[in-house]
Structure 1
Amino acid sequence: MPTPATDRLSRPYADVARIDRTDGGTHFQLPTGQMIKVLRDSGFVVDELTEFVVPPDARSDYAYVTPDWASSWPSVEVWKATLV
């Protein structure tokens, strides 16, 4: 299980639109409600949202999310939306 130091967000939930990663990359992530609004305002209908939680013994190639952390919280989402 995650340790107490890793069981909370490192920044406010509503302030995660731009994340500068330690590997030099930049990640953009809107909160779920805002993402649904962006898709709807763009003419899409959200058909499905799948959040993946991995087994604790999974392997990761990414330093920013460990298998231990990702076994408690989703670290990957797959959105299915249809343009209407």
Structure 2
Amino acid sequence: MPSARFLRKAKLTVTISGDVVNEIDEIAKEKGTPRSQVMEEMLRDWLLQSKKKMIEKDIETYYLSLTEKENKEDKEWTEIVAESAKRTWDD
């Protein structure tokens, strides 16, 4: 996959309600950046948050699928790792 800085930009036409446009324009004015840059930053942030939420949902699904025995084992490993980390930091 090409690096993001080498990807060409695409021009899009979108219809957005006036109140949202006003908010975007205010942000652009405060930052001293073009509206399109503000939009791109917002979309990047939204995409990142969406990906994080999907990962969190996958993690939640995994842990909810564990059996009682697996949960117990996971808790034991967590305690071992926590103690090990504590000893490492205390040294």
TM-score, normalising length from structure 2? Answer: 0.19
Q: Normalized per residue, which structure has more helix?
A: 2
Higher strand share goes to which structure?
A: 1
Which of structures 1 and 2 has the bigger CA Rg?
2
